[in-house]
Structure 1
Amino acid sequence: MRRTTLLGAGLATVLAAVPLATLAPAQADRADRDGHGPGTRETVRFSTFNASLNRATAGGLAADLSTPDADTGAVRQAHKVAETIQRTRPDVLLVNEFDFDPEAVDLFRDNFLGVGHGDARPIAYPYAYVAPSNTGIPSGHDLNNNGSVGGGDDAFGFGLFPGQYGMVVYSRYPIDTDAVRTFQTFRWADMPGALLPDDPSTDAPADWYSPAELEDVRLSSKSHWDVPIEIGDETVHFLVSHPTPPTFDGPEDRNGLRNHDEIRFWADYVAPRAGRAAYVYDDEGRYGGLARGASFVIAGDQNADPADGDSVDSAIDQLLRHPRVRDPRPTSAGGAEAVDQGGANLGHEGDPALDTADFADGAPGNLRVDYVLPSKGTKVVGSGIFWPIDADPLYRLTGDYDPSRWPFTGVPTSDHRQVWVDLRY
């Protein structure tokens, strides 16, 4: 995620968790599955997309999505995001950087995803889940230690209003909303062996945050959700999050360390040894991790590359090398081609075909930060990253960073690419 300066942001009241679910899909939609959809022994496409559907002020996203015919940069960007999703046609989709607003969830579904774009057909998601995010919620503490309290850096997660940079799950399959677990309020200090940041100006260890602050500081910069998806007779736990970028801090590396532990949370949650997740508690006060043998898919913009970038060493390896996690290693021709952007990309160790984000060429360069990771034992039948090569007509949906062409965001849609994995159940 690129953090940009946003002007005119205000604070909005945080709403209670609002799971959105509707009745079963219409018969016409069931027939339009591209090989995916409800049934037995079916292929299900899981996907994650940091779509940059964040806005500068509370309510701004809903305002844009309520006027789909407006000729503005914000609305054009939302249409390109929708077209990208229509062309990849996932069955279960996590959208990161979608400002928390239940109204916006329906507006995007109805006015954008539900309307065709050229030869990209509409796509219907009869089920969705959204809940509050820690972003922009004032902590009441001076968390960046700059001598004053207030602003995005002092929120529980960076944001200029509650819910900025939130997330939403869309699904063609039923969501068991009664069984959803959220971990928004889990305290960072309650994780055994947490990598709490240290103030380098003192001799005391791990003292960036005061004891009073550690009573309140939350682990998740947005939230962590366990969203059960009902696929035939099987329940697949969609484990979604969006850890903080490991930058925008100082020598204490508070964001890098938090990113590591946000990733670690899922590694512990799905660990085969039950005791490893005994410390975990959800927002309802229930303890423990995922049941042994349960199927899951971990998804989201993890803001960590296994070989390059600024994350703490081995942060994402906690998942990629986990005994219960499978890495399908999706690739794209566009990512491989983009190494010719030069700069930091020329010195990277990782395979550029695996990259999922087109970041600044000077630093950190393009990185693999977005993941869809199923549980081991799940049959993987396909995977990919939506990153067309320059000569592809669909390159217009990704492009290269160029504010002169796309003044709203600098890119047509997002600096992240949509990632998908096809799984057989």
Structure 2
Amino acid sequence: MEHVENIQSIKANKKSKSTSKNKPNNQKWAVLSISSIPLVMTLGNSMLIPVLPAMEKNIGISPFQSSMIITVYSILAIIFIPIAGFLSDHIGRKKVIIPSLAIAAIGGLISAWAGWKMDNPYWIILIGRALQGIGAAGAFPIVLPLVGDMFKTDEEVSSSLGLIETSNTLGKVLSPILGAFLAGFFWFIPFFSIPIFCLISILLMVFLVKTPNKREKPLPFKQFIDNIKDTFKNNGKWLYAVFIIGIILMFVLFAVLFYLSDTLEKVYDVKDVKKGLLLAIPLGGLCIASYITGKLIKENKVLMKWLTFGGIVLLVASIVTLSFSKAMGFMITLFLLSGIGIGVGLPCLDAFITSGIEKQERGTVSSIYSSMRFIGVAAGPPVMAIMMKHAENSLFYILGGLSVIAAIATFIAIKPETEEAK
């Protein structure tokens, strides 16, 4: 009898070990699948940046009008992200993400059809881009709370978020190359790629991502609103700081990308894939910095603060130095340094949000944070187009000044030392 019990015990131990081995592997596949969403959403937006000058020529629009092709996407995302976050807290993350990817795919098809078949496609392209923005609102921002739901420890969450942010930035690296390559055939081809990417992401989400079986019952709406108010009351200072920093970093990033794309084509006559490769250099620095930072920070909020501060200081120094020369090699080098600075800060900001907010409000709060980031994305290209026309000599000082505000907000408002001392 004792022998039988021992055999059963050994079998149980083996089963337990097997389960513990399989679970991390399943979670790895799940995280990689989830990482496809920011990759797809980033490709769907950033891929168009190197194509904007070609659009201006082919459909007869101004640089400001072409910048609106990026901006309208972001404006609709800003409006719908908080709604998507609220829904994800109440009906489940996947039930919001998958239909949102389908809406983004439809938007891509509309823009592609307009560019292919219409003589004056600008306004229909904007309608398609608006639909893409609505789809993006329910896709990428919901990834952050989904990762928070899937893991129990802050270390697992921050490490996974590092991979998510890396996927986001990898999308930014691939975007200019892929966009320039596809546009080399016909300028509207990049729009056709968006539904294909969305379909791949939908299939990965359906088959490889299993959300936790036990979901906490959603709170009544009034109690939910009261909890959100309490969250901002108790965490308002550092939350608002993270929102401001997120806006500024994304504003500077997309303003710089718009400037670099325009300057390479119009000043240096660099086009197509070569331009895409040059645009990918600063974004590659951003991607690598995000990946390393995500691995490094773990649960250390003090480290997160000082890495964010250091990254922004590097951004300030490189952006201001850009005002001294327009030589192409000089510009690319300093844009690379600014990309590294932004890449260091973004995973830290993600981790502050997901580890500092309770699960029941996490979807909504992280969605508001994503809306803030999209404000920067929306404002960057058109503001840069205006500055290039009216304030070309001072535009890098303006961007540097905004980055200084982000550094001050990090230094003064984010105080993890006092939180950990409690």
User: Which protein shows a greater Rg?
Assistant: 2
TM-score by length of 1: 0.27
Structure with the higher fraction of residues in strand conformation: 1
TM-score calculated relative to the size of structure 2: 0.27
Considering fraction of residues, name the structure with more helix: 2
